[in-house]
Amino acid sequence: MKKLFGMAAATLLSFAVTAAEISLDGAGASFPAPVYRVWSYNYGESTGNRVEVNYQSSGSGAGINQIKEKTIDFGGSDNPLTKEELDKANLCQFPMLAGGVVVIVNLRGVKPNTLKLDQATLADIFLGKIKGWDDPRIKALNPGVKLPRVRITVVRRSDSSGTSFIFTNYLSKISKEWADRVGCGPAVNWPVGIGGQKNPGVCNNVARINGAIGYTEYTYAVEAKLSMVSLKNKAGKFVEPKPETFRASGAHADWKNAPGFYMLLTDQPGDDSWPITGLTYILVQRNQPDAKKAAALLNYFNWCYTTGASAASKLHYVPLPEEVVSLVRNAWDAEIRSGNASVKY
Amino acid sequence: MNDSGKTLLNPACTDRLFRIAAAGSALLAPLLLAALLVQLGIGSAPAWREFGPGFLIGTEWDPVRNVYGALPAIVGTLLTTALALLFAIPPAFVTALRLVDAPPGIGEILSQALDLLAAIPSVIYGMWGLFVLVPIMQDHVQPFLSDTLGLGKIPFFGEYGNGFGFLTASLILALMILPYISAVMRNVFRMTPAVLRESAFGIGCTRWETAKDIVMRYGIRGLLGGIFIGLGRALGETMAVLFVIGNVVALPEDLYASGTTIAATLANNFAEADGILRAVLFALGLILLLLALGVQVLAHYYLALTGAGRGER
């Protein structure tokens, strides 16, 4: 937290002291916001504060709305737009990072990171059908763990969110009842539970309530030191949430046949695949009126894919493999235009 | 200098300028209010078309199927406000009485402290609520109320709490509006002519009798004024409530249940809303504005009724 404040203060200060030549404004998904903040800072420094990147983590929906209305230079979103939506709004979409959504619990007396759940129990907890932690079905999955007789409190997002989209997308895939009764979206009609504001709000509420279960982006769970649950994946194996298992679930993705890079990485095959993996996307206008700004924008994203990758790994996100990045570069050449030419960066 | 009669500094001229400026500024308030109402009306039109008046009593909130009802938010707003007033008025009243009676030095310090409390931003109250009050409620207050006192058996009281919910939110709200109400009451009580109070003491009234029969009776109109100010603030309070109410769009099952208010619903959803949801949020905003206006009108009506239009607050 202190680091964040320091960084925010530094950003403000640099803004006040040196007027950057080019400033790139972005807004959207809060899922990747921790990396984007570090990137903005590092990239600004690497250009001698000539280029300044701002990112507001206002949520995926806000990012999509604002880039459509052209009030920002790039939008961040965790729920990808389809090819038709992109064509309609004349936007170019590309994936930036992969990351995991993890299930977090707060159970006094249970060793952190030991709990295991499978598809049916996870869905039934969030459907409100399993009400106590000492439920026989949870016990059966966790022999050797002494489960307390505590009521389950579900914690979920109160605001509309890409993280919720990824999570409900997974629940819809593994539970027919969830798909029929609740469905999938950035905000849904949650059968049970209390709402927290954004990822930190959910973490906070889980940390305050004994018996709470919630979901959040992996980095937030690590920073809040919350106990994470191992889940049974499509291959029937229990996997722990960590960058390796997030990466494994991206291994089977067929990027070449994904128009607009539309891809959902939930419930992927593979023994090591973490079942609730998500991608976070960047949206930019295809027609860039200002060539200089467009060049700076693509230069920045190219920097994120290359130099920025290590910073992303450090924050437990999964940078995209080189073959995907080269597909993205091809898409830039093909789609993004300033004047009538593609943009050189 | 001899032609100063034609410059802008001419008294007649400055007077007119001042009058125009003053009239313009004064007009701004009703114009802004009208503009707000019109804007909210236009923005919410799709929601009224889609759901009709049934929107007011609808209880569903399903963003996937785009079905929305306003009742949980309205009930949540009214319930938290009512409870907050219930919790805040008695201590506010007693505090104000004491402040008026306190020796000058101490009274001054206490008054300053009260005014400072009123100036604390609501988000601070919210954070305090989340980090301090919620755990206390979960671990101590709620078990004490339901198990030790056995109140859990009473319907609507609630048997099991997780610290969040209506009771916690109302307590925070009460704490926030208490200084407002108390400050207004204090000012009213101070207006009681000293001669009245002294005569009361002179004929042997106790402090409580003086407070009850002289000060309170004299200042009853101001009391109501103070309460209405607190009410207005509680109705629209957003951040502090959002932190601790649990943000569940459902009618309250009991006091410990999580719920939502109109303001919290707006804050939670507005950033990402588009289409019908945005219209629904505008409609909720309109409802909240009308509720607040209703309170104002009631307050003015009451004050006018009791003839309290003499600049007393």
Q: Please state the domain extents for chain B.
A: 3-48, 50-310
pLDDT at B7 over 70: no
Size of interface A-B (CB pairs under 8 A): 81
Identify the pLDDT of residue B6. 57
Q: Give the mutation candidate from A208, A210, A213 for the B interface (greatest B CB count, under 10 A).
A: A208
Nearest to A208 among B160, B163, B272 (CB): B163
Highest averaged pLDDT of the listed ranges A97-111, B101-115, B242-256: A97-111
Residues in chain A: 345
pLDDT the model gives residue A19:
63
**pLDDT tens across the length of chain A (345 residues):** 455 555 555 555 544 445 678 899 999 988 898 899 999 999 999 988 889 999 998 888 888 989 999 999 999 998 899 999 999 999 999 999 999 999 999 998 899 999 999 999 999 999 999 999 999 999 999 998 999 988 899 999 988 888 899 999 999 999 999 999 999 988 899 999 999 988 888 999 999 888 999 999 998 999 999 999 999 999 999 999 999 999 998 888 888 888 889 999 999 988 999 999 999 999 999 999 898 999 999 999 999 999 999 999 998 899 998 889 999 999 999 999 888 788 887
Q: Across the strands, what pairs with A319?
A: A97
- The C-alpha of A2 sits at a distance from chain B's nearest C-alpha, in angstroms, of 17
Q: In A, which residues are within 8 Å of B273 by CB distance?
A: 61, 160
Query: Chain B closest CA to A60's CA: distance in Å?
Result: 7
ipTM: 0.72
List phi, psi (to 5°) of A267: 55, 50
pLDDT computed for residue B210 by the predictor: 85
Q: Judge whether A96 is closer than 8 Å to chain B, CB to CB.
A: no
Is A59 in contact with B62 (Cβ distance < 8 A)? no
User: What is the residue-averaged pLDDT of chain B?
Assistant: 86
B contacts of A196 (beta carbons < 8 Å): 247
Which of A61, A185, A208 lies at the smallest CB-CB distance from B134? A208
Tell me what pLDDT residue B172 has. Answer: 94
Cβ distance of B242 and A212 shorter than 8 Å? no
Instruction: Write the CA distances from A278 to A95, A201, B138, B216, integer angstroms.
Output: 10, 20, 34, 63
**With an 8 Å Cβ cutoff, are A160 and B269 in contact?**
yes
Would you call A128 an interface residue with chain B, using a CB distance cutoff of 8 Å? no
Contacts of A28 in chain B (CB under 8 A): none
Q: Which of A1, A11, A76, A6 is nearest to A42 (CA)?
A: A11
Structure confidence at residue B312 (pLDDT): 42
More confident residue, A91 or B10: A91
pLDDT value at position A5? 58
* Neighboring chain B residues of A60 at a CB cutoff of 8 Å: 272
| A96, A31 Cβ separation under 8 angstroms | no
Q: Which CATH architecture has domain B50-310?
A: Orthogonal Bundle (1.10)
Q: What CA–CA distance (Å, rounded) separates B213 from B209?
A: 6
- Which residue on chain B is closest to A185 by alpha carbon? B64
Chain B residues touching residue A205 (CB < 8 angstroms): 164
Cβ <8 Å between B64 and A185: yes
Using the CB atoms, write b or e for A128-144: b if 16+ within 10 Å: eebeebebeebeebbee
pLDDT at position A4 is 55
pLDDT of residue B310 exceeding 80: no
* Contact state of B247 with A189 under an 8 Å Cβ cutoff: no
CB A182 within 8 A of CB A243: no
Contact between chains at A61 and B247 (C-beta distance less than 8 A): no
Q: From the CA of A322, how many Å to the nearest CA of chain B?
A: 33
Distance from CA of B118 to the nearest CA of A (A): 26
Asked if A209 lies within 8 A of B248 by C-beta distance, the reply is no
pLDDT of residue A2: 53
CA closest to A68 among chain B residues = B274
A134 CB-near residues (< 8 Å, 6+ apart): A147, A148, A149, A150
| Amino acid, res. B300 | H
Residue B28 has pLDDT above 70, yes or no: yes
Mutation target vs B (from A69, A167, A189; most B CBs, 10 A cutoff):
A189
Residue among A171, A25, A158, A232 nearest B269 (CA)? A158
Residue B64 sits at the chain A interface (C-beta within 8 Å): yes
Report pLDDT for B146. Answer: 81
How far apart, in whole angstroms, are the C-alpha atoms of residue B236 and residue B238? 6
Nearest CA to A318 among A249, A271, A259?
A249
pLDDT for B306: 66
Residue B313's pLDDT is 38
Give the dihedral of Cα atoms A295, A299, A302, A306; nearest 10 deg: 160
Q: Which residue in chain B is spatially nearest to A182 when comparing CA positions?
A: B64
Res B1: pLDDT? 47
Q: Quick one: pLDDT at residue B98?
A: 84
Could A187 and B269 be called an inter-chain contact, meaning their C-beta atoms sit closer than 8 Å? Answer: yes
pLDDT of B199-239, one tens digit each?
Answer: 988 999 888 888 888 887 777 777 887 888 889 889 988 88
What pTM value is reported for the model?
Answer: 0.80
What pLDDT score was predicted for residue B65? 86
